Amino acid sequence: MGKPIRFAKMQGAGNDYIYVNTIEFPLDSPEELAIKWSASHTGIGADGLVLIGISNIADFSMRIFNADGSEALMCGNASRCIGKYVYEKGLTTKKEVTLETLSGIKKLQLQIEDGKVSTVTVDMGEPAVKGKDVEVESGGKHYKGTIVSVGNPHYVIFTDDIMQVDLPKVGPGIEHHPLFPDRTNVEFVQVLNENEVRMRVWERGSGITQACGTGACATLVAGVINGKTARKAIVHMDGGPLTIEWPSDTSPVFMTGGAVTVFEGSIEA
């Protein structure tokens, strides 16, 4: 019998993770537990496991393990959920929280209504455009996309009809393409107007997910670079919308959206 671990399952725009406060419940093998607990039929079911911990350089730290056990550098949706978790659990009274991640310190601005966190704005840092009109092949088709890093790698492809994309077929091939030795996240984007786009995502290490916060940020950056969107736009994903803003080429990207606690419980490690 293992020790019982308290957890919260939370989601931001449908991007759902299992959250554990490791200050209270330290975990020895998060890679293995991410695989075990993320399983939908035999575990809790999630896109991965998020660990909330102490930090010497920020208010809290965050580590993210995908459903396949690989460790992610950053997740915007998870960051928002952590903001809600630490405030509503009484771990902080701050409305501006700093979070140490593998891609640097992120700043969270919490919007509070009736003692609850309604939305969170995350300073995602400055993006890095690695390439434009970069061609790759997957599933027998050739694609041109924009490579953007928002603390983790993204390949953004614009398409006229997003529903015609066979994401399970082409996603794995692009994720593991030789052009991306560390693999990449993949976004297919349909522009609705300069202030709204529709995006579907294949996440590195997790496959198809309902949403991706860093992917939404990479989508807007690619939209601006390619002259397809304004600097502030709503990114609609399967799990819901996020508002993304990139004020200038030398500024951080800001992401605003909600965070929801689905349920809480305990499970054996």
pLDDT band of 195, cuts 50, 70, 90: very high
36 and 115 together in one domain: yes
142 with 246, same domain: the answer is yes
62, 100 Cβ separation under 8 angstroms: yes
98 with 149, same domain?
no
Taking the CA of residue 213 as centre, how many other CA atoms within 13 Å lie in the half-sphere pointing to its CB?
A: 31
Q: Which of 40, 4, 1 is nearest to 265 (CA)?
A: 4
Q: Assess whether 132 and 247 both reside in one domain.
A: yes
Residues 147 and 222 in one domain: yes
Question: Are 112 and 143 members of one domain?
Answer: no
Residue 2 has pLDDT above 80, yes or no: no
pLDDT mean over 182-203: 97
1: pLDDT strictly greater than 70: no
Residues 149 and 107 in one domain: no
Q: Do 15 and 210 contact (CB within 8 A), yes or no?
A: yes
The residues with which 207 forms a beta bridge, in sequence order, are: 203
Express each pLDDT in 149-170 by its tens digit: 998 999 999 999 999 999 999 9
Residue 254 near residue 122 (C-beta atoms within 8 A): yes
Give the pLDDT of residue 139: 85
187 and 161 assigned to the same domain: yes
Instruction: Tell me, yes or no, if 81 is annotated catalytic.
Output: no
Q: Which of 75, 156, 162, 222 is catalytic?
A: 75
Distance CA 129, CA 222 (A): 8
Q: Considering its fold, how many domains does the chain have in total? A: 2
Same domain, 85 and 133: no
Q: Are residues 174 and 239 in the same domain?
A: yes
Contacts of 115 (CB under 8 A, 6+ apart): none
Instruction: Kindly state whether residues 107 and 54 are assigned to the same domain.
Output: yes
Alpha carbon of 164 to those of 105, 160, 189, 205: distances in Å?
A: 38, 9, 11, 23
Is-catalytic flag, 212?
yes
pLDDT of residue 151: 87
Residues 48 and 20 in one domain: yes
Query: What is the length of the chain?
Result: 269
Please tell me which residue in 165, 197, 212, 237 is annotated as part of the active site.
212
Centroid of chain to Cα 78? 6
Q: What is the pTM of this model?
A: 0.88
Instruction: Give the domain range for residue 63.
Output: 4-123+257-268
Average confidence (pLDDT) over 64-90: 95
Q: What is the model's pLDDT at position 132?
A: 94
CATH number at residue 172: 3.10.310.10
Query: How far apart are the C-alpha atoms of 171 and 180, rounded to whole Å?
Result: 13
